[in-house]
Amino acid sequence: MIDLRPYISTTNGKAFAVLGLGRSGLTAACALAQSGADVWAWDDNADGRAKAAEAGLKVVDLGNCDWTAVQSLVMSPGIPLTHPVPHPVALAAQATGVEVICEVELLYRACPDATFVGITGTNGKSTTTSLIAHILAQAGRPVAVGGNLGTPALELPMLESDGVYVLEMSSYQLDLLSQLRFDIALLLNFSPDHLDRHGDMAGYIKAKLHIFDRQEKDDAAIIGMDDPDSRQVFDQINSLGNCKAIPISGNTRLAEGVFAAQGQLIDDRFASEEQILDLQSVERLPGDHNHQNAAAAFACCRRLNLTNDAIVAGMKSFPGLAHRQQLVAQQGNIRYINDSKATNADAAARAISSYENIYWIAGGRAKDGGISSLKPLFSRIRKAYLIGECAEDFARQIGKDLPYTQCQTLDRAIAQAAKDAQHDNCDNAVVLLSPACASWDQYRSFEVRGDHFRECVQKLTQSNNLEQPSTASGREAS
């Protein structure tokens, strides 16, 4: 746990209020308390308050407290700061002039000499974050990875001036920073997401742009160029000239940037194209979207003074991430890919674009827009297997454009898809779970859904049991 005593010693002795006592909030409260701060812990849920009391924390109703005695409000990013309705505690803190921050801000204040790399965007954050951290670790650099990915910021190890914090940053977290300056800030892409928390697309983009706040001349802004909103952001940051802006792309040649073209990773930062790596040989980074992730990681690691050879070695040894186009099994010419993290159509499009002869498992709790945007990719799909509460709606959206079966449950969908793929005997067939939906109708998280996919596939391939499964009633398109 991060030692906050050096930072606490610089404050005026006032209390730190902590609102939201999930894992990151409880960690923040405990780290502050262990470092000698007066901590007022609160959660709107009684279970959260009980956990705080069990941890020996002082439980204080932040809806009825003296804000003049508070130094900072450390708020869980999951609690609304602005939209749809600001939490009353946040409003009370701000009305008294108390800063509202998240635990990542405390990490920065405790370890100001370390290098901070921040990664944000709608899709690809976790892969890019993990890839950068893996490359650095393989090269022998002291590195810690966390933030919105896995480990809460204050559970990371203390790093000195030679260390690098690689932090995935959500739009919610970026709204809760006040001093943190990223030495390298990466913005990958935009597509509509979390609009209920930001009001509209403009509010969402505004929140993401906080990743570039306070950057200086020697810092770098690495920005994707594969969607219109990101290109506008690049032009904006580049024209300001506060830092070095580096464009990256997964499919388009760029002047003075890093990009992939025909699957080749190319460095043109100094207006002289240098071929770095054949990305088609890197099995864990398939598709244009992963090629953009690779371009972002390369640009970042070069800014951190790693050699080309070290970066290439790290990319080739990257194990990939669970639930993100994860190869979980192969039986003959059939690969089984777990892309449960694809909880919207844009994310599913990235996976579908990476393969041919797809037996596509989709469905769950649908996001706005459904899957109509995926129709241009239907030629890659041999058949769809629809699950979850949106199965009938997805069937209507597909219409006669694609053969489909309503399977309702994941195990039935896997068994049917495997049987069909074996029967068709196509080259490079892929049974792909890329749901384009949230998991909450049948699973508590996309991770649980992905784990169930892996378990079902393992049982199926080990037993080689590809008999016809029973499926729920539903019309089929031919």
Report the pLDDT value the prediction gives residue 164, as an integer from 0 to 100.
98
In this structure, are 226 and 353 located in the same domain?
no
Bridge-based pairing state of the strands 15-19 and 334-338: unpaired
469 inside domain: no
Residue 124 annotated as part of some ligand binding site? yes
Is residue 232 within 8 Å of 196, Cβ to Cβ? no
DSSP notation for 375-435? GGGGGGEEEEEEESTTHHHHHHHHTTSS-EEEEESHHHHHHHHHHHHHHHT-TTEEEEE--
* Interatomic CA distance for residues 439 and 323, integer angstroms: 12
476 inside domain: no
Report the pLDDT value the prediction gives residue 473, as an integer from 0 to 100.
32
456 in helix, strand or coil?
Answer: helix
Is residue 274 within 8 Å of 266, Cβ to Cβ? yes
In this structure, are 307 and 448 located in the same domain?
no
Is residue 436 within 8 Å of 348, Cβ to Cβ? yes
In this structure, are 56 and 185 located in the same domain?
no
471 inside domain: no
With tokens 């990773």, the residue in question is 265
CATH of the domain at 276: 3.40.1190.10
473 inside domain: no
Report the pLDDT value the prediction gives residue 196, as an integer from 0 to 100.
59
98 in helix, strand or coil?
Answer: coil
CATH of the domain at 95: 3.40.50.720
Range of the domain at 213: 105-316
In this structure, are 171 and 297 located in the same domain?
yes
* Interatomic CA distance for residues 227 and 350, integer angstroms: 13
In this structure, are 172 and 292 located in the same domain?
yes
**Looking at 287, 316, 345, which one is the last position of a domain?**
316
Sequence-ordered list of residues with C-beta below 8 angstroms from that of 132, at least 6 positions apart, any chain: 117, 119, 166, 296, 297, 300, 301
Is residue 477 within 8 Å of 405, Cβ to Cβ? no
* Interatomic CA distance for residues 246 and 296, integer angstroms: 9
Report the pLDDT value the prediction gives residue 201, as an integer from 0 to 100.
80
In this structure, are 181 and 265 located in the same domain?
yes
Identity at 167, one-letter amino acid code: L
**Looking at 101, 135, 158, which one is the last position of a domain?**
101
Nearest to 117 by CA among 140, 160, 137, 146: 146
Report the pLDDT value the prediction gives residue 199, as an integer from 0 to 100.
62
Residue 82 annotated as part of some ligand binding site? no
Sign of CA dihedral 96, 99, 100, 106: negative
Token readout for 118 is 């921040």
DSSP notation for 314-345? HHHT----TTSSEEEEEETTEEEEE-TT--SH
10-residue mean pLDDT series, the chain (478 residues): 93 95 95 97 96 96 96 94 90 97 97 97 92 98 93 95 97 94 96 62 89 97 96 96 97 95 95 94 90 97 98 95 91 95 91 95 91 96 97 96 96 97 95 97 96 96 56 34
Helix axes 287-303, 125-138, angle to 10 degrees: 40
117 inside domain: yes
**Looking at 260, 284, 316, which one is the last position of a domain?**
316
* Interatomic CA distance for residues 264 and 83, integer angstroms: 42
In this structure, are 291 and 384 located in the same domain?
no
Report the pLDDT value the prediction gives residue 415, as an integer from 0 to 100.
96
Report the pLDDT value the prediction gives residue 323, as an integer from 0 to 100.
93
39 inside domain: yes
Angstrom distances, CA of residue 33 to CA of 38, 306, 434: 6, 38, 43
Residue 121 annotated as part of some ligand binding site? yes
Report the first-to-last Cα separation within the chain, whole angstroms. 58
In this structure, are 273 and 137 located in the same domain?
yes
In this structure, are 171 and 218 located in the same domain?
yes
C-alpha 54 chain-centroid distance: 32
CATH of the domain at 334: 3.90.190.20
DSSP notation for 41-91? EE-SSHHHHHHHHHTTPPB--TTSS-GGGEEEEEE-TTS-SSSSS--HHHH
With tokens 């009980």, the residue in question is 50
* Interatomic CA distance for residues 169 and 187, integer angstroms: 10
287 inside domain: yes
**Residue 154 CB coordination number (10 Å):** 24
411-427 burial: b if 16+ Cβ within 10 Å, else e: bbbbbbbbbbbbeeebe
Report phi then psi at 119, rounded to 5: -125, 130
In this structure, are 300 and 197 located in the same domain?
yes
Residue 68 annotated as part of some ligand binding site? no
Token readout for 412 is 């039935």
3-state helix, strand, coil in the chain (%, to 5): 40, 20, 40
In this structure, are 267 and 367 located in the same domain?
no
164 in helix, strand or coil?
Answer: strand
C-alpha 337 chain-centroid distance: 18
Residue 123 annotated as part of some ligand binding site? yes
> Which H helix or E strand runs over 367?
none
In this structure, are 27 and 74 located in the same domain?
yes
Residue 379 annotated as part of some ligand binding site? no
243 inside domain: yes
Domain count, the chain: 3
